[in-house]
Amino acid sequence: MRIGVVVNPIAGMGGRVGLKGTDGKVAEARARGAEPRAPERARRALTELRERLPDAELVVYGGEMGEDAARDAGFDPDVVGAPGDAETTADDTRRAVSSFVDAGVDLVLFVGGDGTAADVAEALAEFESRTPMLGVPAGVKVYSSVFAVSPEDAAGIVSSFERTERREVMDIDEDDYREGEVHPELRAVATVPVADDLQSSKQLGGGTVEALAEGVAADVESGVTYVLGPGSTVGAVKEALGFEGSPIGVDVWRDGEVVVRDASEAEILDALGDENVIVVSPIGGQGFVFGRGNPQLSPAVIRRCSVEVVASRSKLDDISVLRVDTDDPELDAELGGWTKVRVGRFERRMMKVV
């Protein structure tokens, strides 16, 4: 199998430093100390692919856009181009995909977020190519249904799929997203391998959460630091605690006061005390508790906190399992298993984390 591999090396960089994405914010992300996320996730996917499909032929774009990760994983790839000296752009991704089509690849494996997915899908459509594509999730927001659940799952899908289907590529305006407005837009419909380990499109959960929020507020303890994740469900918890939180950011609250609003990973770590609780809600339709939309809740943060998952009953009705993708496989394994999800003031439902 010939596989075209392209990596968006700046995807997801803005997440842990609180920028909700990287579009137009690369310089600011770097100034805040952000480190690339996508190259390591590419390496993980290709290392697993090397184990599963050692005879695969990789066609890559040069340097950090694919070649580096491929060689780190033990492949000797065919390099068909390279980005310029400046920061990589969407045009580089499109040129890479064009080169892959010319090289006759059987699949395009890309590493990035929804914007990268749209660039790949639109480039394939421009050449009227039905070459399937598959994403390794590395962005802050991942709304599209063309992504594997994890880098390792992506390798498993590539090595074993037999059929393809058409799935949606969604994206949102990051400037609106930073202001708390989330309006997913259909950018393309792409050919994708049929597999169980693909994530669903982001769907919004319904149902009231007032009783749930009141239950969390009633249970808060003096001296405990509460790290409150993004989303409307936890937003109701913030209201019940008496403040208007950042709708898509992480807020830190303790003893009746907001310690940090819209916090970055570093700010959360600085604000933590001896006892800490993360309150987070899974993404509707997907089930992700960590790893989608809340990269500020990094492995370093999670390891210092206990975790309370909250969700409306209607949201859980559309989710078979909860998922985590923290960039730390060992932590993902530790978080796995059965957990209690608060669904009301007192009621909880058992859900499995995978």
Give the pLDDT confidence score for residue 20 in this predicted structure: 47
Give the pLDDT confidence score for residue 55 in this predicted structure: 95
Give the pLDDT confidence score for residue 19 in this predicted structure: 47
Residues 146 and 182 in one domain: yes
Give the pLDDT confidence score for residue 28 in this predicted structure: 55
Residues 297 and 179 in one domain: no
Residues 124 and 43 in one domain: yes
> Which residues constitute the domain of residue 121?
2-193
**Which of 267, 293, 268, 269 shows the shortest CA–CA distance to 280?**
293
Residues 180 and 224 in one domain: no
CA-to-CA separations, 41 to 7, 70, 155, 201, 219, in angstroms, rounded = 9, 12, 11, 21, 38
Residues 172 and 221 in one domain: no
Residues 225 and 142 in one domain: no
Residues 165 and 297 in one domain: no
Residue 316 located in a structural domain: yes
Q: What is the mean pLDDT of each run of 10 residues along the chain (354 residues)?
A: 94 54 52 71 96 96 95 97 83 95 97 92 91 90 86 95 90 56 72 85 54 90 95 92 90 96 95 96 90 92 96 86 94 92 85 91
CATH code of 39's domain: 3.40.50.10330
Residues 243 and 100 in one domain: no
Domains of the chain: total: 2
Residue 198 located in a structural domain: no
Residues 90 and 172 in one domain: yes
Q: Which residues of 90-116 are buried (b: 16+ CB within 10 A; e: fewer)?
A: bebbbbbbbbbbeeebebbbbbbbbbb
Give the pLDDT confidence score for residue 87 in this predicted structure: 77
CA distance 310 to 344: 9
